[in-house]
Amino acid sequence: MASLEVRNVRKRFGETEVLKGISLDLEGGEFLVLLGPSGCGKSTLLNMIAGLDSVTEGDIVIDGRVVNAVHPKNRDIAMVFQTYALYPNMTVKKNIAFGLEMRGVPRDERERLIARTAALLQIDHLLGRKPAQLSGGQRQRVAMGRALVRDPKIFLFDEPLSNLDAKLRVDMRTEIKKLHARLGTTIVYVTHDQIEAMTLATQIAVMRAGIIEQLAPPQEVYEQPANMYVGGFVGSPPMNFVPATLAAEGNALAVRFACTANGSSGDVVLPLAEPSAALARWRDRPVVFGLRPEALTDFSEAEAGIRPHAHAFDCRVDVLEPTGADTLTYIELGGATAIARVNPRRAVRPGQTLRLMADMSHASLFDPETERRI
């Protein structure tokens, strides 16, 4: 279990700066997921931690030691790539053993390490096969075996599941999670799949265009996104963003926005659950009201009774998308499209008015100019 620190790291390729000052501090045993869209610099950051790419500015620190000038093979790091990069002419066993042989590990020790790793990944029965004789998931396991066998300080994974079909991805995701629980090794894992990030990470770094927008545990990233970009990137469907005004409601503060119901447009006013003192200066000013689709549901007496901050309002339904578990219901709030998660047994048709319920204990507010969380 090694700690990892990245100190104000920048990376330039010629004129273009692709990492613009990245800092993070990770305790040993954490599972950090770098999450972000294509081209935001995830692989570049991972390659710099591995030592495969040079650092333009800043420091990479492993277990308290600056490793900028340390050769990749002396960093005690193992990396698993998206394209498994197995040697096609070698058996599975040889593929796993190769790195050990290169480093002069004696035969007995090699045999012991390979047996342990194969058992851990349940690939004992595949050791005699060549990569071409394996399924995608089995190849991915072998690639992981090659990394695991070395018992490194840190594992780096670069989109290891993106070549697998949907079912296998989910299975392997669980395998990786179990592996981390069992070994406790520090992991840095790159993906652009926000579900993978949510399920695996102890910490998520949400990246955009060479910077980290938020670094926090998954639930915090989900519940309290630092800005609208994070709220929109994490969660499927993403967080709803409603253009609204912050209004005074007696002693309380509320969001107010327009909504059409029963053929006419009117204002909906939803009191905030726990307005902070800092919010007072936003009174009568425009804000963006953020609410996850699951906090916007069809009204039910029983649910409203156990949710102290749930508030009902009526709204016209535009489009219905049944997903089985619930029906994604498109409505218009404050002039923007929003999605509510509605019970599939609720009989409603497009154009009809539905009574909804917003759970304001999950409300977020953003500055419309900077898009940052208020």
Ligand X SMILES: Nc1ncnc2c1ncn2[C@@H]1O[C@H](COP(=O)(O)OP(=O)(O)OP(=O)(O)O)[C@@H](O)[C@H]1O
What are the residues whose beta carbons fall under 8 Å from the beta carbon of 76, sequence distance 6 or more? 2, 62, 152, 153, 154
The single residue among 6, 33, 43, 259 that binds ligand X, judged by CB under 6 A, is: 43
What backbone torsions phi and psi does residue 34 show, to the nearest 5 degrees? -90, 115
Span near ligand X by CB under 6 A; candidates 40-48, 132-140, 195-203, 266-274: 40-48
How distant, in Å, are the alpha carbons of 319, 323, 333 from that of 348? 10, 15, 18
Q: Tokens at residue 286, please?
A: 């425009």
What backbone torsions phi and psi does residue 365 show, to the nearest 5 degrees? -125, 140
> Any contact of residue 95 with Mg ion (CB under 5 A)?
no
- 16-26 sheet: strands from edge to edge: 16-26, 4-13, 57-62, 65-66
Q: Smallest distance, Å, CB 31 to Mg ion?
A: 18
> Any contact of residue 194 with ligand X (CB under 6 A)?
no
Nearer to ligand X, 81 or 330 (CB): 81
Binding mask 18-37 for ligand X (x = CB under 6 A): x-----------------x-
> Any contact of residue 194 with Mg ion (CB under 5 A)?
no
CA distance 240 to 317: 15
> Any contact of residue 42 with ligand X (CB under 6 A)?
yes
Find the angle CA(55)-CA(214)-CA(24) to the nearest 5 degrees. Answer: 35
CA distance 214 to 175: 27
> Any contact of residue 39 with ligand X (CB under 6 A)?
yes
Nearer to Mg ion, 42 or 341 (CB): 42
CA distance 151 to 49: 17
Q: Smallest distance, Å, CB 42 to Mg ion?
A: 5
Span near Mg ion by CB under 5 A; candidates 9-17, 43-51, 211-219, 338-346: 43-51
Q: Smallest distance, Å, CB 38 to ligand X?
A: 3
The single residue among 32, 34, 43, 203 that binds Mg ion, judged by CB under 5 A, is: 43
Decide which of Mg ion, ligand X, none touches 13; Cβ closer than 5 to 8 Å per partner kind. Answer: ligand X
Decide which of Mg ion, ligand X, none touches 373; Cβ closer than 5 to 8 Å per partner kind. Answer: none
The single residue among 4, 22, 26, 44 that binds ligand X, judged by CB under 6 A, is: 44
Nearer to ligand X, 206 or 360 (CB): 206
* 137-155: burial string, b at 16+ Cβ within 10 Å, e else: bbbbbbbbbbbbbbebbbb
At 212 the three-state DSSP class reads: strand
Q: Smallest distance, Å, CB 58 to ligand X?
A: 16
The single residue among 6, 9, 35, 41 that binds ligand X, judged by CB under 6 A, is: 41
Q: Tokens at residue 3, please?
A: 């700690």
Residues within the interface to Mg ion (CB under 5 A): 43
